[in-house]
Amino acid sequence: MGTRRTNLPGVGTQIDFTTEAGRHISVVIHEDGRRFIGFYDVDDPDSCQLSVPLSTEEATALAHLIDPAPIDAVRTDGIDLVTEHIPVTSRSPYAGRLLGDTGARTRTGASIVAVLRRHSAHPSPGPDFRFAGGDTLVAVGTREGVDALAEIISGG
């Protein structure tokens, strides 16, 4: 199972997900909030079999069906903040390294507010917290900051 995030300049962000069974699913989040889910041919991962457009409300409803407690975006005084889960894969340059090594807040303005592990959660990790492959970071910031943090963590 793997996830890859790609910045699409002028469009938004594409998140590719490969299931344990090898199925390729892609979510494109446009800058204006539109979302599309694409399903790809197992034999040709570049061939999209079906694309389903979702409004913000539909995407939220689908997220609630899949995960009954997803983290939603927060809007404060006209500034859009997002909260997002960012995986630390075994290929991440930060797997096994300290949170402080990322320079996350300085480089992106986004904050890592928690780290989720298989059987535990670590709220408010300090700079000496050591990441492990399989961790999931809970990040808060602007869309641009969180996207930049995801790029850093993935090594992109």
- The pLDDT of residue 75: 54
Neighbours of 82 (CB within 10 A): 19
Q: Could you tell me if residue 134 is left (phi over 0), alpha (psi between -120 and 50 degrees) or otherwise beta?
A: left
Q: Is 97 in a helix, a strand, or coil?
A: coil
Extract the runs of DSSP E, i.e. beta strands, from the chain.
Answer: 2-8, 12-18, 24-30, 35-40, 48-54, 74-76, 79-87, 111-117, 120-123, 136-141
- What confidence tens digit (pLDDT) does each residue in 70-96 have? 455 555 555 678 888 899 988 899 999
- What confidence tens digit (pLDDT) does each residue in 113-152 have? 999 988 888 999 999 999 999 899 999 998 889 989 999 9
- The pLDDT of residue 69: 54
- The pLDDT of residue 15: 84
- What confidence tens digit (pLDDT) does each residue in 3-53 have? 778 888 888 888 888 777 777 888 888 877 788 898 887 777 678 888 888
- The pLDDT of residue 9: 84
Name the pLDDT band for 2 (thresholds 50, 70, 90).
low
pTM here is 0.55
- The pLDDT of residue 71: 52
